[in-house]
Amino acid sequence: MRFAVLVFPGTWSDGDMQHVLRNVMHQEADLVWHRETDLSRYDAIVVPGGFSYGDYLRCGAIARFSPVMEAVKREAERGKLVFGSCNGFQILCEAGLLPGALMRNNVMQFRCQPQFLRVETANTPFTNAANPGDVVEMPISHGEGNYYVDPETLARLKAEDRIVFRYCDEQGNVTLESNPNGSLDNIAGVLNEGRNVLGMMPHPERASEALLGGTDGLLIWTSMLRAMDLPMLTR
């Protein structure tokens, strides 16, 4: 499987993403500069975290105008898998590939910590290796992760089984105390209507090696390979 890992001015999780995809999952993964206009040679697209364009205006608000985003939209419309984490989630929302917006954390603090997540659905190309209700742990690292949609959109996300992860405690309880940023309904990740675009605030690339403290992030990559019916080779 060949991954495009997008790089904008200010991106900093690109190297981590490429390392995990190449050296842990043993797949092809290229760093693709934001001025690229053709992503047709790739099987999947990853939009990593960071501070694209310094997070000026709003997180992801400038990156969504980069030439590569038109290519991302084309490939998403063709059904290719698109995954965005942290700033990548913010960019996908700003570009209209996902509903909603990411606002300032309600605690008005940057939160960088391990975080428990409850898998809400396995009916996705990104979580088919899990079961609904599974609790996983991945790091978060953001100041603007407070997810919001209007009531009508929230109802639709629920009805269409498009909420993929919720913040929870270690036992899987979705509580106010387990919500690190004030995100509506404890939402940590959502899908598009076509179910081939996922955005989430946590960083699975930082939880993909036991050496770094955990491997729960492998869920994302393993599921993507399974969805493409490719071998899952991890070291």
Which is catalytic among the residues 75, 120, 144, 205? 205
Range of the structural domain that residue 152 is part of: 2-227
Which is catalytic among the residues 86, 94, 142, 209? 86
In a domain, 165, yes or no: yes
pLDDT computed for residue 75 by the predictor: 98
> 107: helix, coil or strand?
coil
Strand-pairing partners, residue 32, are 6
Tally of CB atoms within 10 A around 115 = 25
pLDDT computed for residue 232 by the predictor: 46
Whether the Cβ atoms of residue 134 and residue 161 lie closer than 8 Å to each other: no
**Is position 205 annotated as part of the catalytic site?**
yes
In a domain, 232, yes or no: no
Mean pLDDT per 10-residue segment, the chain (235 residues):
97 96 97 98 97 86 95 97 98 97 88 93 97 97 93 98 98 96 97 98 96 94 90 44
In a domain, 233, yes or no: no
Q: Quick one: tokens of 140? A: 């978060």
**Is position 112 annotated as part of the catalytic site?**
no
**Is position 26 annotated as part of the catalytic site?**
no
Closest CA to 220 of 210, 199, 96, 211: 199
pLDDT computed for residue 230 by the predictor: 56
In this prediction the pTM is 0.94
In a domain, 234, yes or no: no
In a domain, 235, yes or no: no
In a domain, 7, yes or no: yes
What gap in Å lies between CA 102 and CA 61, rounded to an integer? Answer: 11
Q: Residue 228 class from Cβ within 10 Å (0-12 exposed, 13-18 middle, 19+ buried)?
A: middle
Q: Half-sphere exposure of 122 toward its Cβ, with a 13 Å CA cutoff?
A: 11
CATH number of the CATH domain containing 98:
3.40.50.880
Which is catalytic among the residues 75, 94, 142, 203? 203
Q: Half-sphere exposure of 89 toward its Cβ, with a 13 Å CA cutoff?
A: 26
Domain count for the chain, please give it. 1
